[in-house]
A and B are shown apart, each in its own frame.
Chain A
């Protein structure tokens, strides 16, 4: 149980285009979803936290207009990287939690490797 999927697993796009990444909880309702970014040989960096039906909470330094997050249902959250640039190339990972504001493990999706040319 507690499986999280992400799509696509890899994407290559041209500079200036937008890319949408989907995160789905397959067998549970994800009250809270998290979006992380990980650069090579670095730890996970939390970008934003989203609760179903409400606006995402972004971490300091993360541009909310550039990284659009939608958590429309208890099983789906999307991250859209708008006007992508080469420095946005990274490994984007989503995770989901069954609880909002409670001690529950986060179940991670397999990640999306974004390359912006």
Chain B
């Protein structure tokens, strides 16, 4: 079956760095997405990785290793507004998104 694993919850301090991991087992691979979702709101797109390596976009970076079925989202210089759920999703061979359950990130002052 298809499976996406990410931690349920993480806590970090304002100004610090946090890494949210995601491992996956899917039938085929056409890219991995990270989305941010604030409580009661729809997800917003953060990043897309289809090749191995690190993609940097401001304070957020996303890494992919296809051979390991592994990705992480790195958030630097954490701000209180970064408190949200972070969803990892993999696009399988049918171009269908398989969603992880999300990681709730709590930022403390």
Seen from chain A, the residues whose Cβ lies within 8 Å of a Cβ on chain B are 34, 42-44, 46, 49, 91, 93, 95, 101-103, 105-111, 113
Contact A103 B44 (CB under 8 A): no
Contact A106 B87 (CB under 8 A): no
A95 to chain B, nearest CB (A): 8
Contact B45 A107 (CB under 8 A): yes
Contact B42 A111 (CB under 8 A): yes
Return chain A residues, CB-CB under 8 Å to B70.
Answer: none
* B102 contact from A43, A103, A106, A111, Cβ within 8 A: A43
Task: Determine the interface band of chain B, counting residues with CB < 8 A from chain A.
Answer: 20 to 34
A108: nearest residue on chain B (CB-CB)? B42
Return chain A residues, CB-CB under 8 Å to B63.
Answer: none
A5 to chain B, nearest CB (A): 11
Given contacts A43-B102, A103-B30, contact A110 B96 (CB under 8 A): no
Contact B99 A44 (CB under 8 A): yes
Given A44-B87, A105-B33, 13 additional A-B pairs, CB 8 A: A42-B101, A43-B99, A46-B99, A91-B40, A93-B42, A103-B31, A103-B48, A103-B91, A105-B45, A106-B97, A108-B35, A108-B43, A111-B42
Give complex CA distance A46, B100 in Å: 12
Give complex CA distance A102, B48 in Å: 14
A106 to chain B, nearest CB (A): 7
* A110 contact from B42, B95, B102, Cβ within 8 A: B42
Return chain B residues, CB-CB under 8 Å to A108.
Answer: 35, 42-44
Give complex CA distance A42, B48 in Å: 22
A34: nearest residue on chain B (CB-CB)? B97
B105 within 8 A of A: no
Give complex CA distance A103, B50 in Å: 9
Give complex CA distance A9, B4 in Å: 29
Give complex CA distance A51, B95 in Å: 13
Pairs of residues from A and B, 3 with the lowest C-beta to C-beta distance, nearest first: A108-B42, A43-B101, A111-B42
Given contacts A44-B87, A107-B45, A108-B42, contact A101 B95 (CB under 8 A): yes
Give complex CA distance A107, B43 in Å: 9
Contact A46 B97 (CB under 8 A): yes
